[in-house]
Chains A and B, each alone.
Chain A
Amino acid sequence: MPSNLTRREFFKDMGLLSMGAATVAALGPIEAFGESWSDKAGIAPRPPWVRSVDQPTVEIDWEQIYRFDERNTVRRGWSKYLDEETFTRVSADFRNNAAERNRQGLPGYSTRDIALYRASGIGATQSFLGPTNVATPEEINVARWEGTPEENSEMIRAALRAFGAATVGFVELDENTEKLIYGIDPDGKELIFTDEPVAEETETTRTIPREARYVITWTIQMSQEGMTRSPTPLGAATTAMSYAVNRAVQSRLQGFLRGIGYYGLGEAETNALGISPAFGVLAGLGEMSRLNRMITPEYGPMVRVFKMLTNLPVAPTRPIDAGIMNFCKDCMTCATYCPSNSLSTSKEPSYETQGDWSRGGIKTWYENSITCRNYWAEVGTNCGICFAVCPFSVKDRALIHQMVKGTIGTTTIFNSAFADISRRLYLPNPAGEPQKDTEEWWSLDFSEFGIDSTQGHGDA
């Protein structure tokens, strides 16, 4: 720099640089300022690049949406989509291949890894109507809780956080969103809306009073350090654990609602009642993604999403735009690293499904659930590689993550570069292999459940 540069010339140059930066920024969809911050009622305060919007970033054609039979998903209906011989073979593989890989000495399949996975799923029970061992206000002769919808949202958020949830949002059912409640539950029971004020369960049906118009939806964190050991039983343990944790969270919330004079109708079993990511996206917990799952601004896809219907009036939270769906268009990391090539590699999302296991009606990246599930059989456990390699699956100790997420939420022009850097830094191993040493996991000094429960929250 010449030493005879005057102050006037210096500021002139700075002005030119600023104009250049502004021009570059204008090339992307700059919207960080001037729009509202995300709702605070029932959802943790978020940085300005997580913007509340009126419609979710995923396009929805409500005319195409109908109440789906959960048994058509590959979770429950795997055999429907395979011939008998293939199904017999892959289901045997699914039962036996973890032990087979253990005998071959493959990393992540040691006896202790398999035991950890199987033990992680042990926990509380769950049910549609919930436990009845919490006294109602009537039973102990006290007044029922009465609050405004905003107060109720805040209260439920606090209770759920205390019970073990990460983020919490709310949706009010209308003629469209009602269609996100399954028509048939995984166990074959029909879910029926009724004008009667009492929820019931019989041998063949579960009835939902129409007064239960409010959906509480929440996330439970999974461990990044665990999931990066996918596809192994060690990697799958965090998935099993988060479902087990939720069974207790759901029962506690149902007990809490009963204790204040209301009721909560929960999942009768894992993934029952309705489509969790849909409610999560509508409530602003995250955005739809190339995984055809929800990605949150706080934890990326490293969460499981849950929901409950209640007659407690709550204030709905709004969908968000944090640049996540736009990022997925340029990233492709999950699709590239998917060992069974089950994820879409199209740049743009589409309404076209890849099979009857998806109901359709949303413009997303539909996956081939059959090749995905068959790969689970091959490795003898659930996979999770797509979650593990997602650039949003980062912890938040380093400032760089907030800087990158803030940029992604502001402009799309750096998305490809960020995806590329993420792959180079975080993914040293080829697709189909754990990205981190499975033996090393056993010597790490973890926080409880292997998650950082302060991540994404101000009042740690």
Chain B
Amino acid sequence: MLLWLLLGILIGAGAMLMVVRPEIKVAWFDWIILFFAVVFVVLGIANYIGSMEELEPRQAWFTLVTFGLPGLILAAIVAVRIVRNRVPA
């Protein structure tokens, strides 16, 4: 439970930062991509933890990579776009 609380705080803080900092410009479709990135990463983590509890480490790593990697790639796309479109302070 503590993990999910910390993850929620982290995601919320990140989103807040992107909204309030004027030099960070996020297009509307970046938000949609980020939403899917977060869903994939959370699914990857949830399945990793669940499979480890089931004593199935192969399944755990498989689901972490299967869900987590696309999530990270989507997040990276948005990160690159944000860096490129950054407004100088």
Bound together, the chains give a CA A195 to CA B62 distance in angstroms of 61
Q: Is A3 an interface residue (CB 8 A)?
A: yes
Binary interface profile of A, 386-403, with partner B (CB < 8 Å = 1, else 0)? 000000001101111000
Docked-complex contact A225 and B55, CB < 8 angstroms: yes
Could you tell me the distance in whole angstroms from the C-beta of B84 to the nearest C-beta in chain A? 9
User: Which of B50, B55, B77 is the one whose CB lies under 8 Å from A400?
Assistant: B50
> Do most interface residues of chain B lie in helix, strand or loop, or is the interface mixed?
helix
Binary interface profile of A, 63-100, with partner B (CB < 8 Å = 1, else 0)? 00000000000000000000000000000000000000
Instruction: List CB contacts (< 8 Å) of A1-59 with chain B.
Output: 1, 3, 5, 7, 10
Binary interface profile of B, 46-88, with partner A (CB < 8 Å = 1, else 0)? 1101110111101110110000000000000100010001000
Q: Is A142 an interface residue (CB 8 A)?
A: no
User: Which of A225, A399, A426, A444 is the one whose CB lies under 8 Å from B50?
Assistant: A399
List of A residues within 8 angstroms of B33 by Cβ = 1
Range, interface on chain A: 10 to 19
Could you tell me the distance in whole angstroms from the C-beta of B63 to the nearest C-beta in chain A? 5
Docked-complex contact B58 and A428, CB < 8 angstroms: yes
Give A10's nearest chain B residue, CB to CB: B29
List of B residues within 8 angstroms of A3 by Cβ = 27, 81, 85
Bound together, the chains give a CA A3 to CA B29 distance in angstroms of 9
Bound together, the chains give a CA A398 to CA B81 distance in angstroms of 34
List of B residues within 8 angstroms of A399 by Cβ = 43, 46-47, 50
Once A and B bind, how many residue pairs between them come within 8 Å at the CB atom? 49
List of A residues within 8 angstroms of B46 by Cβ = 398-399
Docked-complex contact A397 and B58, CB < 8 angstroms: no
Instruction: List CB contacts (< 8 Å) of B11-46 with chain A.
Output: 27-29, 32-33, 43, 46
Docked-complex contact B63 and A400, CB < 8 angstroms: yes
Docked-complex contact A397 and B53, CB < 8 angstroms: yes
Bound together, the chains give a CA A430 to CA B74 distance in angstroms of 38
Could you tell me the distance in whole angstroms from the C-beta of B42 to the nearest C-beta in chain A? 10
Bound together, the chains give a CA A428 to CA B50 distance in angstroms of 20
| A400-B51 in contact given A3-B85, A426-B59 (Cβ < 8 Å) | yes
Most buried by B among A398, A425, A426, A444: A398
List of A residues within 8 angstroms of B55 by Cβ = 225, 444
Bound together, the chains give a CA A425 to CA B64 distance in angstroms of 13
Bound together, the chains give a CA A395 to CA B49 distance in angstroms of 13
Bound together, the chains give a CA A6 to CA B43 distance in angstroms of 29
List of B residues within 8 angstroms of A395 by Cβ = 53-54
List of A residues within 8 angstroms of B47 by Cβ = 398-400
Most buried by A among B32, B56, B58: B56
Bound together, the chains give a CA A397 to CA B50 distance in angstroms of 5
Bound together, the chains give a CA A3 to CA B55 distance in angstroms of 45
Docked-complex contact B27 and A398, CB < 8 angstroms: no
User: Which of A10, A394, A397, A425 is the one whose CB lies under 8 Å from B62?
Assistant: A425
Could you tell me the distance in whole angstroms from the C-beta of A7 to the nearest C-beta in chain B? 6
Bound together, the chains give a CA A394 to CA B50 distance in angstroms of 12
Residues of A within 8 A of B (CB): 1, 3, 5, 7, 10, 225, 394-395, 397-400, 421, 425-426, 428, 444
Q: A1-B29, A426-B59 are known contacts; what are 13 more A-B pairs with Cβ within 8 Å?
A: A3-B27, A3-B81, A7-B29, A225-B55, A394-B54, A397-B50, A398-B54, A398-B56, A398-B59, A400-B47, A400-B59, A425-B56, A426-B56
A-B residue pairs in contact (CB < 8 Å), sample of 11: A1-B29, A1-B33, A1-B77, A3-B27, A225-B55, A399-B50, A400-B47, A421-B62, A425-B56, A425-B59, A426-B58
- What 8 A-B pairs come out closest when comparing CB atoms? A398-B50, A397-B50, A397-B53, A395-B54, A398-B51, A425-B59, A398-B47, A400-B47
